[in-house]
Structure 1
Amino acid sequence: MAEVHVIGQIKEAKEFPKQELFCKWYLQAGNHWRVIEGKKEGQTPVASSQFDSNRCCWSYPLDIHLATAGVQGWPKIYLEVYHLDWLGRAHLFGYGLITVPTSPGHHVLDCYTWRPLGNLRDRVFQYFLGGGPQIKYPDLIFSPEKRYRLSTEAMGVVSLEVDLILRNFNNYGVEY
């Protein structure tokens, strides 16, 4: 079987409107992919910066070893960024989806996040009480046709650094 090693880190969050952020991540891959070693999901610690109000550094490690018989359903990393308010409540700040690169080597990736906008009533509640609209079915994020129907607003950027090792792809007729 062909193998993909993803080694790196979820480095930081930039340009979010508030501090005290954490990130939940999930690996999403096609049916022909399986995880040999490593975790398919995780959560960073809560981070904030006293010196730079636009940046939260996580440096959360990623180490995933995957195997596949074909390239269909290439892996993606799905992110949810949350803000911790002064009462300790977690509020969703954004969703993001980024495709794992298809070429070996070192890659610096920026995942742009967004969240549902909601109507005027939702925004007033969000301003005074926190929270906000969330997606009921997360599978909607993986379908571009359905995702573009949503009314959204841009949030911040999550930076990832990954090193990719591809193995035995030549045996399956895939050149890189």
Structure 2
Amino acid sequence: MTNGSFLISISGQIEYITALTTSGTSWHCKYELITGPDWKIVGGLELGLSQTVNITQNCSKIVLNYPIDIVYKSSNIFGWPQLILSVYEGFKLKGYGRIHIPIQTGVHLIDVSLARPQPSSLLGYFGTFFGYQPELLEPKMLAEDEGIGLIRMISSGEIRCSLNILTQNLVSLGYDVGLKRN
């Protein structure tokens, strides 16, 4: 590789959702990887939609095992990849999650906290009695700093991700990736 660029490979899976659920419901998950302007996709998909999981008995773990596999090339660490998750029960939003992709190489088990927006008006609160759930028009806005503190969110579960990170030329370009936490 030339021109001071590096590669990062992100592979793994969205393993399961931790949430109390009843039989007869169906769940699915969307993911999107958000990066800065200098990042280019070398291979793989930056967004995806999992299969629908139909629940047949009451449980607290909804297994997805949905794969993620993408390779990026960049010359600047600004805009390091972030994973945005959207979890749905049927068509009803159950929560959003966001993490920065770890900078250290190796396998990482990550529990991502989920949160969903709360209504911001009296009309919105009345709407919740009729099944209305506020959603973000663009979930990728969670990856930005501006205005994110203005959204009132309530915790709504967790989702487990297993990610394997590989990098090439990152350390040789002088970037310190630190020590991997145990």
TM range (shorter): 0.7 to 0.9
Gap regions ≥5 residues in structure 1: 85-89
1:69 to 57, 72, 75: 75
Question: 1:172 and 1:72 mapped to 2: Cα distance?
Answer: 14
1:29 to 30, 35, 38: 35
Question: 1:164 and 1:29 mapped to 2: Cα distance?
Answer: 16
How far does residue 80 in structure 1 lie from its aligned partner after superposition?
Answer: 1.0
How far does residue 139 in structure 1 lie from its aligned partner after superposition?
Answer: 4.8
Number of matched pairs: 170
- The residue number in structure 1 matching 2:132 is 131
- What TM-score results when the alignment is normalised by the length of structure 1? 0.87
Question: 1:103 and 1:163 mapped to 2: Cα distance?
Answer: 10
- The residue number in structure 2 matching 1:80 is 86
Instruction: List structure 1 runs of 4+ shifted beyond 6 angstroms.
Output: none
Gap regions ≥5 residues in structure 2: 178-182
RMSD: 1.9
- What TM-score results when the alignment is normalised by the length of structure 2? 0.84
- The residue number in structure 2 matching 1:40 is 46
Greater helix fraction, Structure 1 or Structure 2:
1
Asked if residue 170 in structure 1 is aligned to residue 176 in structure 2, the reply is no
Rate the CA distance shift 1:131–1:17 in 2: closer, same or farther, 3 A.
Answer: farther
Question: 1:3 and 1:73 mapped to 2: Cα distance?
Answer: 14
How far does residue 78 in structure 1 lie from its aligned partner after superposition?
Answer: 0.7
Q: Is the 8 A contact 1:16 1:157 kept in 2?
A: no
Q: Is the 8 A contact 2:33 2:82 kept in 1?
A: yes
* Percentage identity across paired residues of the two chains: 24
Question: 1:21 and 1:69 mapped to 2: Cα distance?
Answer: 38
